[in-house]
Each structure stands twice: as structure tokens, then as C-alpha cells.
């Protein structure tokens, strides 16, 4: 077995999430005022402390975001009772401030009757095309701007179905903290990469040691034959994070595979699922070896670690190249196959995820992640859920969070 190792970098980047965390810090100041409710200050306690308290107070089910309704245009005002603020109303106003084709909108929220001085409500606002968060600490009218609808489809959707609003319990911040274990896996930073390695070590006992140079074996293309297998482990960026979870749920140490094929002229190709096409979709593709290899060496930001596993001569003799090509061509251009993949790990109502992951955490990750990689996250869940439910539905958000 020959191992082709790409260099193993470690960069330290400024962590964007700190900014995200930062938005909760004002709480600390207000938390000093009395009277307060214990769950109000949970977010500012260290997780080791806050989780047991939280579990005692609520139980896991209370951590699920709840759908409070959809804010619709004009006279259809939505009202609901929050966790902190007991009287809330929301309505949607369309505008065309940017003069774009479909215009945008303003979501008006009137928040009042807080049950204590220190509490806050945390909301997720979703359309099939976007997810955003906000939190409210003060009784007053708040607005949330949607400068431009993403497309005619979003415009039409919002006109008829409104903007879905999900309430997260105040204690949900505890879960958000748990996200920091999982969320950084998906960031394309040295921090994300180290998070992946740390996660695999902690949860799978897998250790990573830096190899001596050179990191790329000088393999000759002539030595690669039809049927030879490429086992790939990506540890950085969106694929890195996804592969980490995949490795973990499946127990494998490779998160991705590809197969080599030679055509009748002897030219070497690689059949791979998860190739990004021009429209940004992940599809099954057959690529010339040179192109594939060049990409892996120079352009793949997932820091791939690739092992070439050639077929044993006797097995190679049995490998039916014609049949392999027939199959590869029949799959070329098809979607990546998230449906198969995800449902290899989501196959029961509960108990799908090894701790500390739970369905809710996954939903939350996907929510956050979809802000980073909107089309990717949407594709993944759409494909998977539509396959499972036999539907052609718009959004994973509604399934996961309800
Ligand atoms: C909203 O209600 C007001 C008063 O009831 C009415 O004049 C107005 O036309 C309504 N607007 C829409 C868009 O239905
Ligand atoms: C918004 O304004 C632009 C420019 O005036 C116009 O072309 C577009 O149709 C408007 N969109 C809507 C939804 O009114
Ligand atoms: C790899 O092989 C090629 C051709 O055999 C040779 O020119 C090149 O110097 C080799 N590179 C390394 C790093 O050994
Ligand atoms: C190889 O596959 C082709 C196409 O499926 C089939 O026609 C042929 O008989 C197979 N060859 C052998 C040796 O099994």
C-alpha cells in the first residue's frame, strides 16, 4: 500500500464565532440585577455548571426550539407567548428599498411582558432559503430586515407562507455552547482542522501524527490500474466537518472514497462522488486523473489525506472493466447521494446519534452551518428528507425543528 500524504498544515485564524458568542455578553451586566430566574443566567455559567442545572430545571425536551408560527404580510398579525416575554406579536411588511427584482421585507416584532428583568428570548427565523437568529432582551418593537428576497421562489414563499419563527428556550444557550464542540468542525480554518483532529481523538481514539517530509509519494500513474481504490480522509472545512461526523457514526477512518478506472485508450480516470459542479452542486463525476490529482494536491482546501489501495493481482484479474465503466457512466452527473448517506445514520426516531450529539444538536448545527454554507446544508437535508419521506419539499428546517 502506498500512502500519498498531503502536507499537514496548522494555521491559527481569528475565530469568527467569538463575535457570535460576544453578542451574549451583555447578559452578564444585566444578570446582576434582581429579581432573576435561575434559568435566565444559565447562559453565562460555565457549561459544566449550567448543564446539570438545566437538566434539573427542564429536561432535554424543553431544549427543542418550538415553532411559534409564521409572520405573514399585512393584517395577519401573529401573536404568541414566549419563554421570557409573555406577549409577542409579529407581522411582515414588504418593501423594495434596494430596488431589486423581488424586493425585500421588514419583520416587525413587538415584545412585551417579560416575566423577569434578566430573561431573554432567542429566536430562529427561517424561510426555506435562509435562517437567521436574533435574541430579545428589551420590551419594545424590534425589526428584522430582509434586504432582498433571494429569488422569486423565496418571494412567493414568503408572500404565502410568511417567515417561520422558532423560539428557543433561554436554556437553549446551553445547547449552543455544546455546539462549540461540533460547529468549529465545519469552519475552514486551522482552528477547524484542529477541532476535527481533537474530535476524532476524543470520540474515536484516533490519533494523528505528523509525518516526516515528503508528504507526497512520487507515485507513477502507470502503476495505477482499473479498480484501484482511493481512501480519503478530509479534515478541514465543510467536507472535513462532515467527514468527521461520518467517520464517527460509521466507525470508519476514511470519510470518502474514489475508484480508478482506465479507458480503452489506457487513459486514467477517477470516479468520485461529491465533485462540485459549476452550479455548486455536489454530484458524482468521472474526472481525468491529472485533473483530480491536481485538485487534491493544490486546490482541495479540506486538507485531504489520501491512501492508494491497489487491487491484489488475482482480484485485479477478475475486475470487469467493462461492467465498471457501464456502471460509472450510469451514475455520472447524479446527485451526491446525501439521502443514502444521512439515512445510514438517521434511521430511528431517536437514538441516532452517539452522545454528545443529539438530533437537536444536529438541527442546531445545521442551522448555524446553513448560514455558512447555505446551499450545501439545504441540499443535504433536502435530498435526504425528500428521499426518506417521498416528497419534494423545500426545506429541512421545518422537519428538523418541529
Ligand atoms: C388591513 O386592514 C385595514 C383595516 O382593517 C384595511 O383598510 C386594509 O386594506 C387591510 N390591508 C390589507 C393588505 O388587507
Ligand atoms: C422593485 O423596484 C425595481 C426597480 O424600480 C423594480 O424593477 C422591481 O420590479 C420592484 N420589485 C417589486 C417586488 O416591486
Ligand atoms: C518524481 O518522479 C519524477 C519522474 O520520475 C521525477 O522527475 C521527480 O523528480 C520525482 N519527484 C520527487 C519529489 O521525487
Ligand atoms: C463484463 O461485464 C460485461 C457488461 O456487464 C459483460 O457483458 C461481460 O460478460 C462481463 N465479462 C465477464 C468476463 O464476466
> Cα separation of 269 and 289, whole Å?
5
Beta strands in 115-172 (DSSP E): 121-127, 130-136, 140-146, 163-168
Write out the chain's pLDDT in tens, 402 residues.
Answer: 333 333 332 222 222 222 233 333 333 323 333 333 434 444 443 444 444 444 444 443 344 456 677 888 877 788 888 877 888 999 999 999 999 999 999 999 998 888 777 677 778 787 756 667 677 777 788 999 999 987 787 788 788 878 878 776 554 555 554 554 555 566 556 667 888 888 888 888 888 888 888 888 878 899 999 999 999 999 887 678 778 877 877 788 888 889 999 999 999 999 998 787 776 667 899 999 999 999 998 888 788 999 999 999 999 999 999 999 999 999 998 877 665 666 666 656 556 665 555 555 555 455 444 443 445 555 555 666 666 566 554 443 333 332
User: Does ligand 3 have an atom closer than 6 angstroms to the CB of 264?
Assistant: no
Beta pairing class for 85-95 and 282-288: unpaired
CB distance 43 to 27 below 8 Å: yes
Q: How far is the CA of 225 from the centre of ligand 3 (A)?
A: 20
Q: Helix, strand, or coil here: 225?
A: coil
What count of other Cβ atoms lies within 10 Å of the Cβ of residue 60? 11
Element (H, E) at 167: strand 163-168
Q: How far is the CA of 218 from the centre of ligand 3 (A)?
A: 6
> Cα separation of 65 and 168, whole Å?
4
CB distance 173 to 24 below 8 Å: yes
Please choose from 72, 73, 74, 92 the residue to mutate so as to test ligand 1's pocket, defined by most ligand atoms within 8 A of CB. 74
> Cα separation of 113 and 89, whole Å?
12
Q: How far is the CA of 289 from the centre of ligand 3 (A)?
A: 17
C-alpha cell at 312: 491484489
> Cα separation of 74 and 93, whole Å?
6
Nearest Cα residue to atom 2 of ligand 1:
75
> Cα separation of 171 and 153, whole Å?
35
Pure H helices in 103-187: 152-161, 172-182
- The ligand placed nearest to the CA atom of residue 217 is 3
CA distances 242 to 159, 247, 349, 401, Å, are 34, 9, 21, 20
Please choose from 218, 220, 223, 293 the residue to mutate so as to test ligand 3's pocket, defined by most ligand atoms within 8 A of CB. 218
Residues in contact with 341: Cβ distance below 8 Å, sequence separation at least 6, in sequence order: 246, 384
Amino acid at each position: 500500500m502506498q500512502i500519498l500524504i498531503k502536507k499537514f498544515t496548522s494555521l491559527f485564524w481569528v475565530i469568527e464565532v467569538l463575535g457570535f458568542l460576544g453578542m451574549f455578553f451583555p447578559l452578564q451586566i444585566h444578570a446582576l440585577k434582581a429579581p432573576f430566574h435561575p434559568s435566565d443566567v444559565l447562559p453565562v455559567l460555565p457549561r459544566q455548571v449550567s448543564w446539570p442545572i438545566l437538566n434539573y430545571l427542564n429536561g432535554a425536551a424543553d431544549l427543542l426550539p418550538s415553532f411559534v408560527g409564521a409572520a405573514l404580510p399585512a393584517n395577519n398579525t401573529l401573536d404568541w407567548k414566549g419563554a421570557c416575554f409573555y406577549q409577542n406579536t409579529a407581522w411582515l411588511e414588504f418593501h423594495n428599498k434596494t430596488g431589486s427584482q423581488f424586493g425585500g421585507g421588514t419583520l416587525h416584532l413587538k415584545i412585551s411582558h417579560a416575566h423577569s428583568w434578566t430573561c431573554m428570548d432567542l429566536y430562529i427565523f427561517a424561510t426555506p432559503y435562509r435562517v437567521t437568529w436574533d435574541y430579545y432582551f428589551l420590551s419594545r418593537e424590534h425589526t428584522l430586515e430582509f434586504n432582498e428576497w433571494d429569488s422569486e421562489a423565496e418571494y412567493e414563499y414568503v408572500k404565502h407562507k410568511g417567515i417561520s419563527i422558532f423560539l428557543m428556550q433561554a436554556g437553549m444557550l446551553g445547547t449552543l455552547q455544546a455546539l462549540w464542540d461540533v460547529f468549529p468542525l465545519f469552519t475552514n480554518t486551522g482552528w477547524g482542522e484542529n477541532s476535527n483532529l481533537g474530535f476524532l481523538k476524543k470520540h474515536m481514539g484516533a490519533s494523528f501524527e505528523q509525518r516526516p517530509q515528503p508528504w507526497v509519494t512520487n507515485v507513477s500513474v502507470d502503476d495505477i490500474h482499473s479498480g484501484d481504490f482511493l481512501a480519503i480522509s478530509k479534515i478541514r472545512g465543510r467536507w472535513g466537518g462532515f467527514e468527521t461526523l461520518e467517520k464517527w457514526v460509521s466507525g470508519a477512518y476514511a470519510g470518502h472514497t474514489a475508484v480508478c478506472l482506465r479507458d480503452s485508450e489506457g487513459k486514467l480516470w477517477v470516479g468520485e462522488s461529491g465533485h462540485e459542479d459549476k452550479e455548486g452542486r455536489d454530484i458524482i463525476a468521472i474526472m481525468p486523473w491529472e485533473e483530480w490529482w491536481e485538485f487534491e494536491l493544490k486546490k482541495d482546501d479540506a486538507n485531504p489525506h489520501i491512501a492508494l489501495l491497489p487491487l491484489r493481482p488475482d482480484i485485479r484479474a477478475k475486475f470487469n472493466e467493462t461492467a465498471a465503466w457501464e456502471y460509472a457512466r450510469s451514475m455520472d452527473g447524479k446527485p451526491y447521494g446525501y439521502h443514502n448517506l444521512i439515512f445510514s445514520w438517521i434511521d430511528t426516531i431517536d437514538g441516532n446519534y452517539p452522545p454528545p450529539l443529539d438530533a437537536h444538536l444536529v438541527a442546531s448545527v445545521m442551522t448555524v452551518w446553513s448560514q455558512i454554507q447555505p446551499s450545501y446544508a439545504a441540499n443535504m437535508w433536502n435530498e435526504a428528507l425528500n428521499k426518506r419521506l417521498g416528497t419534494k419539499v423545500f426545506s429541512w428546517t421545518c422537519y428538523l425543528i418541529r
